[in-house]
Amino acid sequence: MALVMAASTSIAAVAVTQPRCTPERLTSVGDEPAGCLQNLGVSAAPSKSGMSCRSSSTFLGERLLPSSCSGRRDRHSYPGSHFGVFREKSSASTSHSAPTEPWKHREAGGVRRVVTAEMSPSAAAAFSGTPVRKTSILVVGATGTLGRQIVRRALDEGYDVRCLVRTRQTPADFLRDWGATTVSGDLSKPETLAPALVGIHTVIDCATGRPEEPIRTVDWDGKVALIQCAKAMGIQRFIFFSIHNCDKHPEVPLMEIKRCTEKYLAQSGLQYSVLRLCGFMQGLIGQYAVPILEEKSVWGTDASTRVSYMDTQDIARMTMSALRSEKTVGKTLTLAGPRAWTTQEVIALCERLAGQDAKVTTVPVSILKITRQLIRLFQWSRDAADRLAFSEVLSSDAVFSAPMGDVYSLLNMDPNETTTLEAYLREYYQQILKKLKDLKASSKQGDFYI
């Protein structure tokens, strides 16, 4: 406890600010086109002295930016810079020899700025304390559909799980009831991240922004801050969840942000693994299964896009297997279900299992595209337009699926243990229909005694 308090106190003394390094700067490497987020209206111009980000703010002593953003700045990992007080000094120099200091920045005109760090005794003691256990995990987005399953799986496998949760009206008591610990934090507030990472070996990031939030707030600005902080705090493993085929749909803001975050993470120097997902089976319950059972209308499209849905419990199992394997470091894996389904096929399956027909309202993809273009004309509705950008994916007849043979082999898992969509929905309907039958019987019994 003393170790954690000492480290937290020292971290709190450091000014933590979010650098405004936008995703389009990440596309200046290689043959990639410029304008990583051009559809969001973001622009940035290279400086006369080379590529640079727009802010000169410092994040825990170093900005830890990818090479495409750092221009001629040299990056050096310096453990002491994680804690303490920073000083700057300048010296005129025309030498082009490699820097030997922890951090140097060659300014125009040959002036070199050197940033050094002084560690307080308590910070030095904290830094040289007992190494963190490999079983210590921080789950970001632990209250979400996927995050809660990862927490449960990790606890079942004996990991020490800490959950980063926002302050909310509905407390995350269920996480503590399971045996996890919670710490208050918010990806949109970078200053809350460093204390949550003290004593952590692995970060599993499965967070995403809420529907009412701008996409960039959490999924780009927040993720950049988390990656920078993880690097500064010496996190040894980082697992990031992305979207399958995100590199093939730059017209969709969320998918383009995911692609940029993948690239940013790869250039951060962290030992990372990226898991690309296709779709959750759990999302189909509220979208199709329940409305059909309640004889309400369900919405569908005329697109032939196919998705290989997965049970989040299976994704959690694969995530922990990927964490245990050193072979997954630096890898990008796509996790896909046994079969790809169209919207029409999912609705037909729900109808068969529920034993009743669905009231389907079909929306042509062309209508969604026109709606998106119209609402983008207004500043207050652009976030909604960005979320409607998935209509571009629907109209492309894409297949969100991938062969899983190599992944199962790499993770040493049996493909027969993966839940199929038929089995998942059948179990759901069996449970819900049994409950409805019991409630109906209970109601009749009550009427009899009255």
Q: Model confidence over 19-73: pLDDT tens digits?
A: 334 444 443 333 333 344 444 343 333 333 332 333 323 333 333 333 333 333 3
Phi and psi at residue 46, to the nearest 5°:
-65, 145
Q: What is the mean pLDDT of residues 115-125?
A: 50
The amino acid that residue 408 corresponds to is Y
Q: What is the mean pLDDT of residues 81-110?
A: 35
Would 15 be classed as within a structural domain?
yes
pLDDT band at 360 (very low <50, low <70, confident <90, very high): confident
Would 318 be classed as within a structural domain?
no
pLDDT band at 107 (very low <50, low <70, confident <90, very high): very low
Q: How far apart are CA 233 and CA 241, in angstroms?
A: 21
User: Which range among 117-131, 208-222, 242-256, 277-291 shows the weakest confidence by mean pLDDT?
Assistant: 117-131
Q: Which residue has the higher pLDDT, 444 or 394?
A: 394
Would 344 be classed as within a structural domain?
no
Q: How far apart are CA 224 and CA 240, in angstroms?
A: 12
Q: What is the mean pLDDT of residues 251-265?
A: 93
Q: What is the mean pLDDT of residues 103-109?
A: 37
Would 174 be classed as within a structural domain?
no
Tens-digit pLDDT profile for residues 424-444: 999 999 988 888 767 765 544
Whole-number pLDDT of residue 121:
54
Whole-number pLDDT of residue 215:
84
- Cβ proximity of 369 and 391 under 8 Å: yes
Q: What is the mean pLDDT of residues 377-386?
A: 60
Q: How many structural domains is the chain composed of? A: 1
Would 410 be classed as within a structural domain?
no
Name the token pair of 163. 């959950």
16-30, 47-61, 240-254, 297-311: which has the highest mean pLDDT? 240-254
The amino acid that residue 298 corresponds to is V
Q: What share of the chain has pLDDT > 70, as a percent?
A: 62
Would 336 be classed as within a structural domain?
no
> Could you list the residue range(s) of the whole structural domain that residue 8 is in?
2-127
Gyration radius (Cα) of the chain, Å: 25
Q: Which residue has the higher pLDDT, 130 or 360?
A: 360
Residue 431 burial (10 A CB sphere; 0-12, 13-18, 19+): exposed
60-64, 162-166, 215-219: which has the highest mean pLDDT? 162-166
The amino acid that residue 299 corresponds to is W
Whole-number pLDDT of residue 433:
81
Indicate yes or no: pTM above 0.85. Answer: no
pLDDT band at 122 (very low <50, low <70, confident <90, very high): low
Whether pLDDT at 398 is above 60? yes
Would 347 be classed as within a structural domain?
no
> Residue 373 region, left (φ>0) first, then alpha (ψ -120 to 50), else beta?
alpha
Name the token pair of 234. 């010496």
Q: C-alpha angle 369/370/375, rounded to 5°?
A: 100
Name the token pair of 102. 């922890």
Whole-number pLDDT of residue 396:
65
Would 440 be classed as within a structural domain?
no
Whole-number pLDDT of residue 184:
93
pLDDT band at 167 (very low <50, low <70, confident <90, very high): confident
